[in-house]
Structures are given as C-alpha cells and as structure tokens.
Amino acid sequence: MKIPFLTSLILFSLIRSVGAQDLLETYHLALKHDPQLRKAFFTQFSVAESKSQSIAQMLPTLSASASSSRERLSNKKDNFRTAGTQHFWN
C-alpha cells in the first residue's frame, strides 16, 4: 500500500513541475518565436523612439566646455654654497 502511494506521489510532483508554465513565460516565448508579434513590438518601439527624436529637435542645444592646467616650478638647487666670509657688526 505504501509503495504505490509513494510512487504516484513522486510521479505527480514531477509531472506537475515539468508542465508548469506561467502566462509571462508564455508571452516571452511567443515574443521570441512569433515573427508577427516581434514585428508589432519593434514597430511600436520605433514609433515611440521617433516621437522622442522629433521632440528633441525642437529643444535648444546646450554645450559647455572646461579646461584646467597646472604648472609647477621647482627651485631646488643641488649645490648650495655660501661666500666664505662673514661680516660681524659691532
């Protein structure tokens, strides 16, 4: 009695998980494999893009530029010499 029940339970769980497919997955598969649906999707996308581009042509063009530079001067001397005499003031 236990063995047929366990085998039917295991088979039922395997069959149910193999055949499961939700609506979103079905839509993605149809979009991937149906040429008419893909054409409609990309046509809609191109119309929306052409609207954006036509609005962008009416907007003003802005531009900006910047530059910077830096210069370092080094006053290091390798040989520092003093005159050999010192003056003392009394």
Q: What is the DSSP string of 39-53?
A: HHHHHHHHHHHHHHH
Residue ranges per structural domain of the chain: 21-48
Contact between 31 and 37 (Cβ < 8 Å): yes
Q: What is the DSSP letter of 61?
A: P
pLDDT, tens only, 52-88 = 888 888 888 889 999 988 877 766 666 666 656 666 6
pLDDT, tens only, 17-56 = 555 678 888 888 888 888 898 899 889 999 988 888 888 8
Q: What is the pLDDT of residue 65?
A: 92
